[in-house]
Chains A and B, each alone.
Chain A
Amino acid sequence: MKKLKPLLGIAFLVLMTISCKVTQVGRYDTVIDKTINDVQQQLSTFFVKAESEAGTPEFKYANYKPFYDALKVEMSTLRIRSAAINENAIADKEILLLDDNINKLEQLHKLGINSYEEVGVLKSGFEQQLSAILKLQMALKAHVKSSS
């Protein structure tokens, strides 16, 4: 038993490390996953329209106010659920960064988004962000399956 004591200590530390680390990433949740996919679809549709309308009167902010309002409702659902499930975890931080970017997109739209190139930069940034969020969600989903 004396020889096993160091091993017991290591095993305990390993188990503690595992339980703490998983909390840091977050837990998989189907509602969060679905809502992120909905937000991604809305943004994709927005950027397709923006590419052809940027700089035209049709693309003025007033015409897109309903789009931002709908998106804010989705993001509010996402923020509340994520905070309840994953407060301060990586998955939650990602949702807050997406929310911040949507607010900044709205501010930019109010200032005026006037060219195809400007839309391109925005589209690229949002695609990068949404892909990263979905990548982590998929990994969390796969992890649930492999752990069960």
Chain B
Amino acid sequence: MPLNIAQLSKDMLAAAKPALQNFWTDAKPYAEKETKAFAQNLAMIEKLRLLGKISKEAAALHVEIQKNSFRTVLLTIEGLGILAVEDALNAAIGVIRTTVNKALGWALL
């Protein structure tokens, strides 16, 4: 029996959607909160420097620390995204596994 590609695509999309939606629901507020914290910290460093409470050298070190922290946040979001894509792919493959394997006559998926 030939595979019904339209139906398989529909089933795969429906299976993949929750993993991607969950990722975006978590990632969006997280990214917004951490971006705001990054900006606030940079503003505080600028204020401390303008008030003469920290040296130029110290200010540069402070900025580098904040940049490293924000880089870490972005790397985590990237990592969570990749894991979500893998979950979505696994879910999508899961729903078509039986149909495709049966059509091929051996366990590809």
Footprint of B on A, CB under 8 Å? 3-4, 7-8, 11, 14, 17-18, 21-22, 24-26, 90-91, 93-94, 97-98, 100-101, 104-105, 107-108, 111-112, 114-115, 117-118, 120-122, 124-126, 128-129, 132-133, 135-136, 139-140, 143, 146-147
Report if B82 contacts A (CB, 8 A). yes
**Chain B residues in the interface with A (C-beta under 8 A):** 2-3, 5, 30, 34, 37-38, 40-41, 44-45, 47-48, 53-55, 57-58, 61-62, 64-66, 68-73, 75-76, 78-80, 82-83, 85-87, 89-90, 93, 100, 103-104, 108-109
Q: Are B37 and A128 in contact (CB under 8 A)?
A: yes
> Once the chains bind, are B76 and A136 in contact (CB under 8 Å)?
yes
A122: which of B62, B71, B83 is its contact (CB, 8 Å)?
A: B62
- Is there an interface contact between A25 and B83, defined as CB atoms closer than 8 Å? yes
A14 to B91, CA, bound (A): 12
Q: What 7 A-B pairs come out closest when comparing CB atoms?
A: A129-B69, A132-B76, A90-B79, A125-B69, A132-B72, A136-B76, A25-B79
Contact of A104 among B65, B71, B80 (CB under 8 A): B65
Whether A3 pairs with B86 at a CB distance below 8 angstroms is no
* Cβ-neighbour of B76 out of A94, A108, A111 (below 8 A): A94
* B79 → chain A closest CB, angstroms: 4
Residues in A whose Cβ lies below 8 Å from that of B93: 11, 14
**Contact across chains for B75 and A18 when beta carbons are under 8 A apart:** no
**Distance between B108 CB and nearest chain A CB, rounded to angstroms:** 6
A94 to B86, CA, bound (A): 21
A93 to chain B, nearest CB (A): 6
The answer to whether A111 touches B109, judged by C-beta atoms less than 8 angstroms apart, is: no
